[in-house]
Amino acid sequence: MALHADDRAPGGEAGITFVSVAYFFFVICSYYVIKPIRGSLALELGSDNIPILNILSMVSLVVANAVYSWIVGKYKRDIFIPFITRFFVVCLAIFWLIFTLFIPINEQRSATLDIAAAESAFSPPLAEQNDAGGNADKKPPILRDPMDILYDNIKIIMIGVYYLWVNFFALMAVSMFWSFMNDVFTVNQGRRLYAIIGYGGLVGGLVGSALTSLLVRQVGTSNLFILAIVLLYPSIWCMQYIHKNHYRPEGIAEADNQPVKPAHPPRPWDGFLSVCKNPILICMALEMFLYTFSSTMFFQQLNRLIELEIGADVNSKTAFIAGIYGRINIVSLFSQFFVTRLMMLLPNPVYGLLLLNLIQVVGTFFTMFTPSLVVASWVVIIRYAIDYSTGRALRELVYIPLDREAKYQGKGFIDTVVFRVGDGLSSIILIGGLGFYSYGTWIDYSIQLAMLVQFYVIIKTAGLYGQRLKTAEAAVAAPVPAS
């Protein structure tokens, strides 16, 4: 039985929408505080080592998604969403303690963390000066303080842990939000309201980036964790308000007030199985994989340029990366109003995802001929702005007509595991390619090949989505009695 908007929103559509905007604002605002910290700390390990972190992130998120899938299968949304969010808050407090008291990242110990030095008790020889005859003066290695070696190793580990955690937070917090939204609104409501709700995330990203850029030099990088905690916690209140004033047991008719009993106990691999048995989810998984594959390849070039042109100061890199994300959200505010609204007017809005491919193809050609930090930064800004404002809303429309398992477990698997598999595979290719060829046009050609395949995947996804809507409309027009 189809539910009308008024039936699905007892608290009023306007009120629920307003709180949804606030909910998205708090999630994204906190993320845009901790995201620049991740980027600046990762560059402390050297840009060439970031692909290794992406591979580790891929592996860790397989385990994390299995735990998430089990939790979602066992508990209702009003239990597991606040629980996971509070877990994130506790983690932020722990990171603040570590990076303030034990590994003070606000203090600049060295230009760049020397990983090789951390693995040996001896530091590498200083730069050797050639004499008049062309012979180099040979100097004995300098014995390093064991405490310095221990400090460097601990710092490497904690930066790696934080990098993996932020990747998990970024995917899980946003995925939970949109899964919740897809469970609250109908397809027609989504086409009308998702552009509005998206403004919450765009303004949140803009405010988070601005706060980070303004405060990092006054309070230091580590104290930004406190700001992230203050911004994230109110999202729990927003979620609880929406759930209380718009309670609809997930996956069942409003008249039946008892949750549907699953056909089997919750299993860690339910998300994977949900994707495998649904052609639309398979296409969405491929689209997500190709998107992250190309994004990681391109962002590696940007990381290298940041490292070369800015230097090693943590606060400077944090401020620069925060500036990039701030510009992304400024551009997103305009594209949300013009581009997203235009795409939602299409008979099948999913075709709008092709715009992201076109931007990446054109941007990659520009960087092939003008590989500068300015050019690479603006390619990232434009593509990410369109993705955050338009791409995200268009992807979420695909999940609305699907069942609860697809919305939470299948979508969760795609947004976490598949997302990081794209990161991981591209990172493996980067490690091998950089070992043989260093940086060059081979990265750009790899991106273009991925975009070519993604054009086909998006067209296929849009076709399946259109068929699904026609089937749903036919079922509403002529409902089949339950047997």
Per-residue pLDDT tens over the stretch 465-482: 988 888 766 665 554 444
Classify 438 in phi/psi space as left (phi over 0), alpha (psi -120 to 50) or beta: left
Confidence of residue 265 (pLDDT cuts 50, 70, 90): low
Mean pLDDT confidence for 127-145: 53
Taking all residues of the chain, what is their mean pLDDT, rounded to a whole number?
79
Confidence of residue 8 (pLDDT cuts 50, 70, 90): very low
Mean pLDDT confidence for 249-262: 43
Answer yes or no: are the C-beta atoms of 360 and 298 closer than 8 Å. Answer: yes
pLDDT value at 414 more than 50: yes
Answer yes or no: are the C-beta atoms of 113 and 49 closer than 8 Å. Answer: no
Amino acid identity of residue 412, one-letter, is: G
Helix (H/G/I), strand (E/B), else coil: 333: helix
Q: What is the pLDDT of residue 137?
A: 53
pTM above 0.95, yes or no: no
Confidence of residue 131 (pLDDT cuts 50, 70, 90): very low
> Where is average pLDDT lowest: 59-73, 173-187, 204-218?
59-73
Mean pLDDT confidence for 308-337: 79
**Residue with the larger pLDDT of the pair 242 and 73:** 242
Based on C-alpha coordinates, what's the Rg of the chain?
Answer: 24
For 130, which DSSP code? B
Q: Whole-angstrom Cα distance, residue 116 to residue 109? A: 16
Contacts of 470 (CB under 8 A, 6+ apart): none
Retrieve residue 416's tokens.
Answer: 């976490």
Distances, alpha carbon 407 to alpha carbons 182, 395, 413, 432, in Å? 7, 12, 10, 36
Retrieve residue 125's tokens.
Answer: 């020889």
Distances, alpha carbon 464 to alpha carbons 272, 279, 348, 362, 461, in Å? 20, 8, 11, 28, 5
Q: What is the pLDDT of residue 144?
A: 67
For 401, which DSSP code? T
Residue 253, Cβ density class (10 Å: 0-12 exposed, 13-18 middle, ≥19 buried): exposed
5-123+144-252+266-476 has which fold? Growth Hormone; Chain: A; (1.20.1250)
The residues spanned by each domain of the chain are 5-123+144-252+266-476
Q: Whole-angstrom Cα distance, residue 380 to residue 388? A: 12
pLDDT digits (tens, 9 = 90+) for 176-210: 898 888 888 888 888 888 888 988 988 898 898 88
**Residue with the larger pLDDT of the pair 291 and 6:** 291
